Structure 1
């Protein structure tokens, strides 16, 4: 884990840096920890001026609040993009490299309301650095400290959660709609009883030693 040495002076310097440019892009991801489903990133450019009240790190908001802010953020943003790497890419690349790839795709996928590509003047990333030639800053706890990153965290979280709810409908025995792919007790019990799905991250499951348990046979790929 990266050490946080952020000071009020750092915050002031960042705010001045953002004031000197026109388009500031915030990037954040969700889904590093689950044992199933994709890792997903959002890049977003918000207009300058008064921020949307209540926007903060998505982990500190209720699901209902995130859903309401999701629509407001997308109605006000100047451009946004989504990047994703599925469970197979995660197993092949490792979770950090998959996360960075998703972030890069989100940045390169920035589009305005007319679908035209948008290139930001400054990229602010939550605790990571993206492969890009654009000016960028890595901000520890950026989802708390930078409005655009907070917006990105909310969009990423709601987008991924909605995907997991759909998986819950496809595989009702596993409860994806509630745990969103994280390794809860009920999730592990479902794996023990019904076996592994194609959307499970096999590298994560191996790490947990679940293949040693009876009944944990990988299911056939979905059509």
Structure 2
């Protein structure tokens, strides 16, 4: 059975001005988490708009530009330091709130991907599990967040070659984990994430042993 495409059913049910909100980068070992908020123009919805995970990188980049040109868009970030201080869930919600707050116009409702709503939103918030596959507004936000974060990681990869961030975006691939073991932890790694934390502990233990 073919997979259904996202639509505007949830936006229509809510009524008013709707901002779709999604994040990218919860799972990586390195880099910030990114969130996007998008208010679509019902008369100018880009053709082929879909959940970012269902699109090629080329298609995502094309839609990224089209969404920016045809919709109200804002991006919010939470840093590696905030991720380590708050935990990734709370940092992701913080990035989502920042994205909604960054919109040039305040929506009536923020339609949030997932099951948790950020605190202190400037508008009403409604959650939608797997919303990027159901809502066109959230699908648009998923594309913006994904492409924006991928571009940041590609930039960081130039400053820190060898970890493969230009292709793995900081996710714990075998190549990334091997590079962590060989080259160590960078300032862009999330120290609260277990693989990074364990390497740091191992380095401390080795340093102690060397002093004996």
Question: Which of 177, 184, 194 is the equivalent residue of 1:188?
Answer: 177
Q: Does the alignment pair 1:96 with 2:102?
A: no
Size of the aligned set, in residue pairs, is 197
Unaligned runs of 5+ in 2: 1-7, 207-212
Shift of 1:215: 10
Q: Deviations 1:107-149 (Å, cap 9, x if unpaired)?
A: 10112xxxxxx11112100013122252221011110111110
Q: Which residue of 1 aligns with 2:112?
A: 125
| TM-score between the two structures when normalised by the length of structure 1 | 0.82
Q: Deviations 1:139-192 (Å, cap 9, x if unpaired)?
A: 111101111100000000000000000011111121110100000110011111
Task: State the distance in 1 between where 2:205 and 2:184 align.
Answer: 4
- Preserved CA contact (<8 Å) 2:191 2:197: no
| TM-score between the two structures when normalised by the length of structure 2 | 0.86
Unaligned runs of 5+ in 1: 1-10, 112-117, 218-223
- Preserved CA contact (<8 Å) 1:196 1:216: no
Higher relative contact order (CA 8 A, sep 6+): 2
Q: Which residue of 2 aligns with 1:220?
A: none
Task: State the distance in 1 between where 2:24 and 2:11 align.
Answer: 25
3-state SS in 2 of match to 1:202? coil
Task: State the distance in 2 between where 1:204 and 1:33 align.
Answer: 9
- Preserved CA contact (<8 Å) 2:44 2:70: no
